Amino acid sequence: MGVFSIGNVAFSVLDYSVSYIELIGTLFGLISVYYASKANILTWSTGIINEVALFILFFQVQLYADMFLQVYFFVVTIFGWYRWKHNTAIIPVTTGSIRLQLILLVLGTVAAGMIIRNLHQWLPGYFPLPAAYPFADSFVMVGSILATVLLARKQLENWYLWIIVDVVSIVLYLIKGIYFLSLEYIIFLGLASFGLYSWKKQLSNV
């Protein structure tokens, strides 16, 4: 993949080589989540760069569910950007039940995990290597999908889901040796906690 290869190193920290593609994905991911925590529309434009970079990265480390997740993120990003930009009124922060989201998270993880686990057998030409940790990877994918939908709707509960997803992602990326990205998700966890606090504050002022 040339410049997009994980072997194309930007710099090294404590014997860990950070590729340009991981660096780009990480930096723009941080910027995007920061803007999301502030309910700023720039979260969507910066998110697009993050999604393209991570799509390429995850394919190379066999986290296929996370790779497919970036496609979904791209579609939802366009939807969220359009909705926030063209709504004539300021979209208020809302709240709802988290129970349905948790049920969908469990069911979606099991279904997606079964599919991701068999991709290398069904489509060996596209996925020559078996998926790494298909169910944990699918958990991150499904949880992120649900959280992004709630984010686009400005529903407070998106931050609860992000906090759960961030914790699982930190462990998963550490195991896979994507240490710089794992560090990013530690920061994401802090930003998600700040986002929850900030949105709760906005909700209480309504």
Domain boundaries, the chain: 2-204
Q: What is the pLDDT of residue 60?
A: 92
pLDDT of 109 > 90? The answer is: yes
Which residue from 140, 158, 139 is spatially nearest to 150, judged by alpha carbons? Answer: 158
Tokens 């063209």 sit on residue = 86
Alpha carbon distance 202, 156 (integer Å)? 10
Q: How confident is the model at residue 4 (pLDDT cuts 50, 70, 90)?
A: confident
Tell me the two tokens of residue 104. 């969908």
Strand partners for 98: none
Which residue from 120, 109, 112, 7 is spatially nearest to 56, judged by alpha carbons? Answer: 7
Q: How far is CA 95 from CA 38, 111, 144, 181, in A?
A: 17, 28, 18, 30
Gyration radius from the chain CA atoms: 17
The model's pLDDT over 143-175, given as tens digits with 9 standing for 90+, comes to 999 998 888 788 999 999 999 999 999 999 999
The share of the chain scoring above pLDDT 70, in percent, equals 96
Longest dimension (CA), the chain: 55
Q: How confident is the model at residue 1 (pLDDT cuts 50, 70, 90)?
A: low
Higher pLDDT, 20 or 152: 20
Which residue from 164, 118, 160, 112 is spatially nearest to 137, judged by alpha carbons? Answer: 112
Q: Which helix (H) or strand (E) holds 19?
A: strand 16-19
Q: What is the pLDDT of residue 90?
A: 67
Q: What mean pLDDT do residues 104-121 have?
A: 95
Q: How far is CA 41 from CA 45, 80, 82, 160, 203, in A?
A: 8, 9, 10, 21, 18
